[in-house]
Amino acid sequence: MKNKIWLSSPHMGGSEQKYVQEAFDTNWVAPLGPNVNEFENSLENYLNEDSHIAALSSGTAAIHLALILLGVSRGDEVLCQSFTFSASANPIVYQGATPVFIDSELETWNMCPEQLEIAILHRIKHGKKPKAIIAVHLYGMPYNVAKISALGEKYEIPIIEDSAEAIGSSVNSKKCGTFGGFSILSFNGNKIITTSGGGALISKNKEHKDAAIFLATQARDNAPHYQHSQIGYNYRMSNIVAGIGRGQLEVLNDRVIARRSNFEFYKTNTKNSDFKFLEEPEGYYSNRWLTCILTPSFKIREKIRLSLEQENIESRPLWKPMHLQPIFKNCLNFLNGNSEQLFNTGLCLPSGSNITENELHRIVGVLNCF
What's the pLDDT tens digit per position in 105-140? 999 999 999 999 999 999 999 999 999 999 999 999
What are the sequence ranges of the domains in the chain? Answer: 16-250, 252-367
Residues 6+ apart with CB under 8 A from 293: 266, 270, 275, 276, 277, 346, 347, 349, 367
CA contacts within 13 A on the Cβ side of 178: 18
Confidence of residue 14 (pLDDT cuts 50, 70, 90): very high
Give the count of beta carbons closer than 10 Å to the beta carbon of residue 226.
8
Residue 30 has a pLDDT of: 87
pLDDT tens digits, one per residue of 236-271: 999 999 999 999 999 999 999 999 999 999 999 999
pLDDT over 90, % of the chain: 98
Q: What is the pTM of this model?
A: 0.96
Which of the four pLDDT bands, split at 50, 70 and 90, describes residue 20? very high
**DSSP character at residue 327:** G
339 compared with 1, residue with greater pLDDT: 339
Mean pLDDT of the chain: 97
Q: Which fold has domain 16-250?
A: Aspartate Aminotransferase; domain 2 (3.40.640)
pLDDT tens-place string over residues 158-214: 999 999 999 999 999 999 999 999 999 999 999 999 999 999 999 999 999 999 999
- The predicted pLDDT at position 118 comes to 98
Secondary structure letter of residue 217 according to DSSP: B
Give the pLDDT mean for 80-99.
98
pLDDT tens by residue, 272-319: 999 999 999 999 999 999 999 999 999 999 999 999 999 999 999 999
- Domain 252-367: give its CATH architecture: Alpha-Beta Complex (3.90)
When pLDDT is cut at 50, 70 and 90, the band that residue 1 belongs to is: confident
Question: 356 CB contacts (<8 Å, ≥6 apart)?
Answer: none
